[in-house]
Amino acid sequence: MSVAPALVKELRDKTGCGMMDCKRALEETGADVDAAVDLLRKKGLADLAKRSERSTNEGIVDAYIHGEGNLAVLVEVNCETDFVARNDDFKQFAHDVAMQVAAASPQFVTRDEVPEELVKAEREIYRAQALQEGKPEKIVDKIIDGKVEKFFKTVCLMEQVFIKDQDKTIETHLGELVSKIGENISIRRFSRFRLGEEL
């Protein structure tokens, strides 16, 4: 199938993916731009999984200071080579992550980092709430599972909705960058400081 160059350009502008990737995605989806965007996002996540075994010893620490200096974030984002660490898209991603941490206040990078005792405590709170509301015992576990998933989406950076694009998560955003750059990239850690918070 022949794809109009204007469509390829439109898809490239939307996703930032390479011209050939955009052309192939449009060919696979019958020149449906929205479907091609979804396909490229899925491919980005697949690439992310495939590359996640590679070590990431390079990268940058980015800082974001909000307003008059009453809120600041430091974030470490790693990649495989110092060449990518100097790449503008990589630097922009690190800055996006720092802004996300400032705005959405996650507590962990991934759900693997959430202590089991914290999840257990949340489950007990949700159980007590459901029973107090008079929910039937047989559906309480399903309600709890749903609330735990929402909890992860709130406290885990990778599962949060990206503040600059509500149609994707930080994980999807990362997957797109991995697909574009062709290296494993990982968010290692972050710290969020609010003036007077611990006082």
For residue 14, with 0-12 CB atoms within 10 Å meaning exposed, 13-18 middle and 19 or more buried, which class applies? middle
Same domain (yes/no): 166, 104 = yes
Asked if residue 199 is part of any domain, the answer here is no
What is d(CA 113, CA 46) in angstroms, rounded to the nearest whole number? 22
What is d(CA 68, CA 9) in angstroms, rounded to the nearest whole number? 40
pLDDT tens for each residue of 79-115 = 988 899 999 999 999 999 999 999 999 999 999 999 9
What is d(CA 103, CA 101) in angstroms, rounded to the nearest whole number? 6
Asked if residue 101 is part of any domain, the answer here is yes
What is d(CA 189, CA 100) in angstroms, rounded to the nearest whole number? 13
Number of domains present in the structure of the chain: 3
pLDDT bin (cut points 50, 70, 90) of residue 14 is confident
Same domain (yes/no): 39, 104 = no
Asked if residue 69 is part of any domain, the answer here is yes
User: For residue 111, what are its two tokens?
Assistant: 């759900």
What's the domain range around 186? 58-110+156-194
Same domain (yes/no): 146, 62 = no
pLDDT tens for each residue of 163-191 = 999 989 999 999 889 888 888 899 999 99
pLDDT at 45: 53
Same domain (yes/no): 62, 102 = yes
Cα angle for residues 55, 58, 59 (degrees, 5° grid): 120
Q: What is the CATH number of the domain that holds 148?
A: 1.10.286
Same domain (yes/no): 10, 106 = no
Same domain (yes/no): 72, 98 = yes
pTM of the predicted protein model = 0.70
Same domain (yes/no): 99, 175 = yes
Q: What is the CATH number of the domain that holds 82?
A: 3.30.479.20
Same domain (yes/no): 72, 102 = yes
pLDDT bin (cut points 50, 70, 90) of residue 55 is low
